[in-house]
Each structure stands twice: as structure tokens, then as C-alpha cells.
């Protein structure tokens, strides 16, 4: 019995009455819109009047020194943290500040945390199958036809993440990089419109980084992708538009060449992270 069927046969695993969310509306504007967003922790403004616009299908890199607010920004978009003020919209229809984390996820916002969280004892294929089970849109009828569609979808994802030859192997045998790709694949199973990826290449080999660059640039266009990353070589290799965060606000925005020659950006990086890699 497939993982999906055995799960479906259990009680209370799925809520069959969840309505299909209305699709994101990007006809007249961006897919993600943050306006004047501020959040304080004990009086300290981790995010301070942040304005950010991501276009549909865009690949955006977010860089900035430690403590700039990058992770907090993702927490706000995904509903984990509520801002004190400001606006956060997904397309023109969905006010994310009125929604909780599961509701925001079900709109099609997928988040990849830094550490891979695949199920090591399950095969690569089963991990992808299980990821599909979280998509409530496919659950009302687990028919043979739907199962065929799921298999096709898994095949398609295996191709995208380059793990087809390993589909029947337990995820536990994968390298660190391969686990990261599998987890991206698990997010893709749910056909996200917006993918948020936090430091995808930390701990990867050069070769894995190159493959990850291909993977992420290949995803752009089909979905919007926001990548937070410290590795400047990697950012340079995938970057179209780059946003530099500093003290919870946008310090600079533009091409990698534009932002890396901006004196304010150079100062922030040299000042805050002189011991780390610079632009
Ligand atoms: N839950 C929290 N409580 C208190 N301070 C926090 C919390 N989350 C983040 N911060 C602080 O907010 C600032 C921004 O953190 P973060 O968003 O993690 O930065 P980045 O991801 O850019 O390194 C840091 O000074 C951090 O210590
Ligand atoms: Mg962070």
C-alpha cells in the first residue's frame, strides 16, 4: 500500500472539508508586497519600515549581514511572526496579516529552512509522495486517476531535482546537497507560487552549489523564488535582482554589480563582517 493510501485510511489525518483557496491575483501587480513593515523584539526594531516588492516569476536574492532581519522577514511573510505595523499582501487579493501559518502555506507559499528535514527511512519517492499528502486540494478523491497524476508529478519533480536514479533509495543515504534538493522537491510537489529559501548552499560542495544554482534559476519563471544567502559567489552566480537588508530596512537594490559597488553596502559589509567573506 502506498504511503498516501495508508495515511488516507487513518482517521483525522486529512480535513476533507477544507475549501480550495482562491488563487493569487497578480494581474495588476506583484506577487508579494510588503509596505512599511515594522516589528520590534523587546523594543529593538528587527524589521524597520521594510518595503519590498517581488514580481511574479522573479528570482530575488536577499543578502545582508547577520542580524539584518532576513529570517525575521521570512517569518513575517509565512505568518510565524506578526509585525507591529505595515502591510503584507500576496497578490492583490490576499492580506497575509489576516491569515495564520497553515492558511498562508495553503495559498502556495513554500518555505525551505536551512536544515534539511527529509524522512531518512523513507525512499526518495516516498518522501515526495508524502509531501503531496499535505496538499489538501488533491484529497477529496484518492482515485486511481489521481494516483496516476501523483506518480507523473513525482516523476517530473525527480527530473527537476536530478534524483531520478536514486528514487528507490532511502533518503538517509543521500548527501547533504541531495537532501536539500529533495526537500526543495517536496515543496515543489505542492506547486507553490512563491518559494522562500533560507541559505540553500550552506555546507554544500562546489559541485552541489553549481547544481543548486541551475535548479533555482530553472524554477524561476514557473514560480517566484526568494533566496536568502550569505555565499556571495553563489549569489553572484544566480542573481538577477539583489536586495541588501541592513538593520531591518532595504539598504540597496539592483543588479549584483550595482549593489556590490554601492559605498553604503561596502561599508556595512566591511564594518559588520570584516572577518567574514566580503562582496
Ligand atoms: N524571536 C526573537 N526575539 C528577540 N530577538 C529576535 C528574535 N528574532 C530575531 N531577533 C533579533 O532580530 C534581529 C534580526 O534577526 P534575523 O532576522 O535572524 O537576522 P538575519 O536572518 O538577517 O541574520 C537580530 O538582532 C536578532 O537577534
Ligand atoms: Mg537568518
Judge whether 209 lies within some domain: yes
Strands (E) in 145-240, as ranges, are 194-198, 224-228
Percent of the chain with pLDDT over 70: 84
Per the domain annotation, does 81 fall within a domain? Answer: yes
**pLDDT band at 135, cuts 50/70/90?**
low
The number of the ligand 1 atom at minimal distance from the alpha carbon of 228 is 21
- Output the domain CATH number for residue 217: 3.40.50.300
Q: Which of 28-32, 84-88, 171-175 has the lowest mean pLDDT?
A: 28-32
Q: What is the mean pLDDT of residues 3-10?
A: 49
211 lines ligand 1 (CB under 6 A): no
Cβ of 114 closer than 6 Å to ligand 1, yes or no, is no
Number of domains in the chain: 1
Choose the weakest-confidence range: 37-41, 46-50, 144-148: 144-148
- Residue to substitute in 42, 65, 69, 81 for testing ligand 1 pocket (most ligand atoms within 8 angstroms of CB): 69
What is the mean pLDDT of the segment spanning 184-188? Answer: 95
Distances (CA, A) of 77 to 13, 81, 222, 273: 26, 8, 20, 27
Report if residue 261 sits inside a domain.
Answer: yes
Question: Is residue 279 assigned to a domain?
Answer: no
Cα(94) to ligand 1 centroid in Å equals 26
Q: Is the shortest distance between the CB of 46 and ligand 1 below 6 Å?
A: yes
Residue 123 lies in a domain: yes
Answer yes or no: is 154 within a domain. yes
User: Of 185, 177, 196, 79, which Cα lies nearest the Cα of 131?
Assistant: 185
The residue whose CA has the least distance to atom 8 of ligand 1 is: 72
User: What average pLDDT does this structure show over 175-193?
Assistant: 94
Cα 174 from chain centre: 21
Asked if 265 and 251 count as a contact pair (C-beta separation under 8 A), the reply is yes
Q: What angle do CA 37, 101, 97 make, to 5 degrees?
A: 35
CB atoms within 10 A of CB 119: 16
Ligand 1 centre and the CA of 83: distance in Å?
Answer: 13
Q: What is the structure's pLDDT at 142?
A: 54
Do the beta carbons of residue 88 and residue 30 sit within 8 Å?
Answer: no
Protein residue closest via CA to atom 11 of ligand 1:
46
Q: Are 186 and 113 in contact (CB under 8 A)?
A: no
Residue 145: the pLDDT is 62
- Residue ranges making up the domain that contains 19: 2-273
pLDDT category at 24 given cuts 50, 70, 90 is confident
| Ligand approaching nearest to the C-alpha of 199 | 2
Looking at the CA of residue 68, tell me the nearest atom of ligand 1: 22
Q: Is the pLDDT of residue 21 over 80?
A: no
Q: Does 68 contact ligand 1 (Cβ within 6 A)?
A: yes
Does the residue 238 lie in any domain? Answer: yes
- Mean pLDDT lowest for which of 30-34, 64-68, 131-135? 131-135
Query: Average pLDDT, whole number, for the chain?
Result: 87
67 C-beta closer than 6 A to ligand 1: yes
CA 1 to chain centre: 31
Query: Of all protein residues, whose CA lies closest to atom 2 belonging to ligand 1?
Result: 41
Residue 144 maps to a domain:
yes
- Judge if the beta carbon of residue 244 lies within 6 A of ligand 1: no
Angle, CA 166 vertex, CA 161 and CA 169 arms, to 5°: 130
DSSP 3-state of 77: helix
Q: Are strands 109-112 and 249-254 parallel, antiparallel or unpaired?
A: unpaired
Residue 33: is its pLDDT beyond 90? yes
Amino acid at each position: 500500500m502506498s504511503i498516501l493510501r495508508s495515511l488516507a485510511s487513518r482517521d483525522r489525518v486529512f480535513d476533507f472539508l477544507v475549501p480550495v483557496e482562491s488563487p493569487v491575483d497578480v494581474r495588476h501587480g506583484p506577487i508579494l508586497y510588503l509596505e512599511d513593515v515594522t516589528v520590534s523584539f523587546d523594543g529593538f526594531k528587527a524589521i524597520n519600515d521594510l518595503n519590498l516588492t517581488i514580481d511574479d516569476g522573479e528570482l530575488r536574492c536577499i543578502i545582508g549581514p547577520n542580524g539584518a532581519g532576513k529570517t525575521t522577514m521570512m517569518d513575517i511573510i509565512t505568518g510565524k511572526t506578526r509585525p507591529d505595523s505595515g502591510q503584507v499582501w500576496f497578490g492583490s487579493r490576499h492580506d497575509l496579516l489576516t491569515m495564520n501559518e497553515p492558511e498562508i502555506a495553503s495559498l502556495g507559499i513554500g518555505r525551505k529552512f536551512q536544515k534539511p528535514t527529509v524522512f531518512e527511512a523513507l525512499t526518495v519517492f516516498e518522501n515526495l509522495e508524502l509531501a503531496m499528502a499535505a496538499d489538501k486540494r488533491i484529497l477529496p478523491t484518492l482515485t486511481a486517476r489521481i494516483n496516476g497524476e501523483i506518480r507523473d508529478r513525482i516523476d517530473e519533480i525527480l527530473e527537476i531535482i536530478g534524483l531520478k536514479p536514486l528514487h528507490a533509495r532511502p533518503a538517509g543515504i543521500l548527501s547533504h546537497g541531495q537532501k536539500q534538493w529533495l526537500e526543495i522537491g517536496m515543496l515543489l510537489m505542492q506547486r507553490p507560487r512563491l518559494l522562500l529559501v533560507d541559505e540553500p548552499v550552506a555546507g554544500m560542495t562546489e559541485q552541489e552549489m553549481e547544481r543548486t544554482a541551475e535548479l533555482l534559476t530553472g524554477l524561476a519563471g514557473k514560480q517566484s523564488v526568494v533566496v536568502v544567502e550569505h555565499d556571495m559567489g553563489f549569489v553572484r552566480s544566480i542573481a538577477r535582482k539583489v536586495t541588501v537588508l541592513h538593520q531591518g530596512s532595504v539598504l540597496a537594490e539592483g543588479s549584483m554589480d550595482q549593489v556590490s559597488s554601492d559605498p553604503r553596502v561596502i561599508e556595512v559589509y566591511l564594518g559588520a563582517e570584516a572577518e567574514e567573506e566580503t562582496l
